[in-house]
Amino acid sequence: MSSIAFIGLGNMGAPMAHNLIKAGHQLTVFDLVPQAVQGLAAAGARAAADATEAVKGAEVVVTMLPASKHVEALYLADDLLAAIDAAALVIDCSTIAPDSARKVAAAAKARGLAMIDAPVSGGTGGAVAGTLTFIVGGEADALQRAMPVLQCMGKNIFHAGAAGAGQVAKICNNMLLGILMAGTSEALALGVANGLDPKVLSDIIAKSSGRNWATELYNPWPGVMDHAPASKGYAGGFGVDLMLKDLGLAAESALSTRSSIPLGELARNLYSLHSAAGTGKLDFSSIVKLYTDKAA
């Protein structure tokens, strides 16, 4: 088993770290929130006073941070790379801008460190169950080294290409997810406004040409799926502001490549409008409120 430093113990990072402990790895953890560190320490991890202490002697360093600025600050501004053993493998699971991933990977390579970007898909449920999908950018050899660690936290692992490619693929996936969730919410709201039962309509769509992940596994209408955040007050899951961040990354990428993403931009505007109503911490499926609250 490996000696692993895990930095970033939020809604996704904490359960991922728990699964590494369950698999028998020795974890040293750090987060800016003391309670998060204490929770992992209670599960058997060693608590570090700061990130530099966490990576000392680690064979693998895993980070799960909110945004590009946090990743660049940790690895570049704070120069965490200098504290990591040259033989260690660095895995960044944050969802960030591809250019940021490439910048950090280049800095790691200059120091002789192997690094991959490995953003995840699957939400908090997948993080807890250990069934996440990892979308990896970086060298094939580094991915092979990472496989025993990633397999403790995920079920599907894809190699998208060189450094930053994992981020590009993740951004494309989440842009489509945002579009699908907004469209599904719109369709359900229209049906309910016309007297249809949302469960019946969802069942029809799930077996028809409009079927998608939202209708089948993550329905945005309260009461349709007991396990979905919609039936739990939209608590937990993948936050509105996180989806808005990812749609913003898609817009940035589109500008840099002169790509046209009219539906992606529309979804970003819808989520921005939704977030402005104070819903940023709710699950992203709460976008249905844009339609139902207005109708009410």
CA separation, residue 187 to residues 205, 211, 248, 259 (Å):
10, 12, 24, 28
> For residue 221, which phi and psi values (nearest 5 degrees)?
-90, 130
Catalytic residue (choose from 103, 170, 245, 289): 170
CA separation, residue 13 to residues 20, 118, 150, 185, 196 (Å):
11, 13, 13, 29, 40
Residues 78 and 133 in one domain: yes
Residues 14 and 158 in one domain: yes
At 232, which CATH number? 1.10.1040.10
Classify the phi-psi angles of 122: left when phi > 0, otherwise alpha if psi is within -120 to 50, otherwise beta: left
Classify the phi-psi angles of 164: left when phi > 0, otherwise alpha if psi is within -120 to 50, otherwise beta: left
What local confidence, expressed as pLDDT, does residue 51 receive? 97
Residues 64 and 93 in one domain: yes
Q: pTM, whole model, 2 decimals?
A: 0.90
Task: Please confirm, yes or no, whether 170 is among the known catalytic residues.
Answer: yes
Per-residue pLDDT of the chain (296 residues), as tens digits, is 789 999 999 989 999 999 999 999 999 999 999 999 999 999 999 999 999 999 999 999 999 999 999 999 999 999 999 999 999 999 999 999 999 999 999 999 999 999 999 999 988 889 999 999 999 999 999 999 999 999 999 999 999 999 999 999 999 999 999 999 999 999 999 999 999 999 999 999 999 999 999 999 999 999 999 999 999 999 988 899 999 999 999 999 999 999 999 999 999 999 999 999 999 999 999 999 999 985 43
Last residue of a domain, one of 162, 194, 226: 162
Say if CB 17 and CB 45 are below 8 A apart.
yes
Domain count, the chain: 2
For every residue of 186-250, DSSP letters joined together read HHHHHHHHTT--HHHHHHHHHTSTT--HHHHH---STTT-TTSGGGGTT-SSSBHHHHHHHHHHH
Q: Which domain holds residue 214?
A: 168-292
Residues 182 and 55 in one domain: no
